[in-house]
Amino acid sequence: MDVNLCRLPKENIIMPKFQVPLAGFMRHLFSTDSAAIQSKQPERQNGRKQKCLKEAGVFCLKENLMDKSRKQNYNTLKIFFASKIEKKENNMRGQKIRAKLQALLLAACMGVCSLQVTTASATEEKPKSVDIVFTHDTHSHLNSFRTVVDGENVEAGGFARIKTVIDEKKEENPDTLVVDGGDFSMGTLFQTVYEEEASELRMLGYLGYDATTFGNHEFDYRSKGLAQMLDTAAASGDTVPSLLVCNVDWSEMNDERQLLKDAFDHYGVKDYEVIEKGGVKIALLGVFGKDSLSCAPTCALEFKDPIEAVKETVAAIKEKEDVDMIVCLSHSGTSEDPKKSEDELLAKAVPELDVIISGHTHTTLEEPIIEGNTAIVSAGEYGINVGSMHLSQNAEGRWEVEDYNLIPIRPDIEADEATQEKIDAFEANIDDTYLKQFGYTASEVLCENDYEFASVDDLYTKHTEHNLGDIMAD
């Protein structure tokens, strides 16, 4: 029968009435000097016998003063008490041995219990965690450029510097998730080789992005341009990110939609995918927002309601997949007007989402918008900043943002040389395939002036005539 000594109640354990150091106790219990022990036994036994005889009222008298009768009685009593003493001594020895064994077993039990507690503490699982690096609305800004940030003219952005940041993050945690929220194209001369080179998508793959989604500007070159770009990227042999969008409506087809459907299939566009990062299973899905569609007049596709499509996709993920986290790459955006803040409305309607990477509105969120258990994040436009966040899983299985920051991409970050060489190769193709016919090069400065033109923000916030608009119109 197995007995768990660690669980015995105190009253069932007989403790010895003496305390000795453990080392001395072990030596005493298992001493091999038996001759020394035996040599002391007669002396101890005689002492005990005399003590017991005295307690019984028996006194030793000189033999020459005893008569024969008393001598016989004395011998009878002596034999009687000797047997009693021997039995008592045996009981005492048994009790001492049992006490010693119990003390030893108790010490061993305490050691085992302590070991069990230590082992349990050592093997206690840490909460799961995830690191995410993200961008959106980079708009073909592969090279660094000069712009105004917080009223200061600075050099910002550039995929070569972003590569350095991603590499540093992956050095800290090789399982860092890297994602993009769409509108990776249109905005610089790299868009001129959109169809022939697919430089933006291929560079995202080179930087190590896991996934992205479609923005409205991916449709600027119409269905044919987008289809050709996807075919070019798929056939390049380069590593490219997953492309995810869950709300395309393929129920009614025509030639343009079939062209795009074939290109989507060739590239491998999906509603969602599941990837594992550091033992955490993450479901990634993409969605195309309502305002994005209104800003894509050349788009030939029909789209389902974003919220309803995300609900259906999340339900399918819950049914078919065993995941720890759900991340939505949304090209919908946020707004100060609650009724127009699509990604906030999405978070409220689909609370199962853990993170929303929010693109389209070029918003810079210094802190995440927390809606229930969903974190909505945005890093701004053109790769001026790269978003970084660290999340940990709580006891309820939901995720909490423990660290969040926007990393400014500035000249103090060293540009990765190999990345810049790849960008330069794409830029050379711009000259050969597009600008050469006009007699220009990509690095050529066309003019300089002393005018301070209206900023992009001015165009949105100040509804008046701007000098930048005047020079473009003239």
Which has more confidence, 471 or 183? 183
Output the pLDDT for position 73: 53
Which has more confidence, 103 or 197? 197
- 405 strand-pairing partners: 388
Q: Dump pLDDT digits (tens) for 35-55.
A: 443 444 444 444 444 444 444
Amino acid identity at 348: K
Q: What gap in Å lies between CA 329 and CA 256, rounded to an integer?
A: 25
Output the pLDDT for position 407: 98
Output the pLDDT for position 457: 76
Output the pLDDT for position 467: 87
210 within 8 A of 178, measured Cβ to Cβ: yes
Output the pLDDT for position 20: 42
For 208-223, what is the mean pLDDT?
A: 98
Output the pLDDT for position 459: 78
For 257-281, what is the mean pLDDT?
A: 98
| Mean pLDDT of all residues belonging to the chain | 84
pLDDT band at 462, cuts 50/70/90?
confident
Output the pLDDT for position 399: 98
Alpha helices in 241-373 (DSSP H): 255-267, 290-294, 306-320, 342-349
Percent of the chain predicted with pLDDT > 70: 74
Output the pLDDT for position 31: 42
pLDDT band at 79, cuts 50/70/90?
low
For 219-226, what is the mean pLDDT?
A: 98
For 438-450, what is the mean pLDDT?
A: 87
For 293-304, what is the mean pLDDT?
A: 97
Q: What gap in Å lies between CA 188 and CA 204, rounded to an integer?
A: 16
Q: What gap in Å lies between CA 386 and CA 157, rounded to an integer?
A: 9
Output the pLDDT for position 228: 98
Output the pLDDT for position 440: 92
For residue 169, pLDDT beyond 60: yes
Burial of 408 (0-12, 13-18, 19+ CB in 10 A): middle
For residue 114, pLDDT beyond 80: no
Which has more confidence, 472 or 353? 353
pLDDT band at 472, cuts 50/70/90?
confident
Output the pLDDT for position 458: 82
In this predicted structure, which of 42-51, 193-202, 242-251, 327-336 has the lowest mean pLDDT? 42-51
- 285 strand-pairing partners: 272, 328
pLDDT band at 469, cuts 50/70/90?
confident
For residue 376, pLDDT beyond 60: yes
- Which of the given ranges, 50-54, 102-106, 344-348, has the highest pLDDT on average? 344-348
Which has more confidence, 285 or 99? 285
Residue 83 — φ and ψ, nearest 5°?
A: -65, -40
Output the pLDDT for position 7: 41
For residue 430, pLDDT beyond 90: yes
For 323-341, what is the mean pLDDT?
A: 97
For 103-131, what is the mean pLDDT?
A: 63
158 within 8 A of 383, measured Cβ to Cβ: yes
For 383-405, what is the mean pLDDT?
A: 98
For residue 76, pLDDT beyond 60: no
Q: Dump pLDDT digits (tens) for 308-329.
A: 999 999 999 999 999 999 999 9
Which has more confidence, 467 or 274? 274
Which has more confidence, 93 or 22? 93
User: Quick check: pTM over 0.85?
Assistant: no
pLDDT band at 96, cuts 50/70/90?
low
Kindly give, in sequence order, each residue whose CB lies less than 8 Å from that of residue 214, ignoring residues fewer than 6 positions away: 182, 243, 245, 286, 288, 331
For residue 19, pLDDT beyond 50: no
For residue 240, pLDDT beyond 60: yes
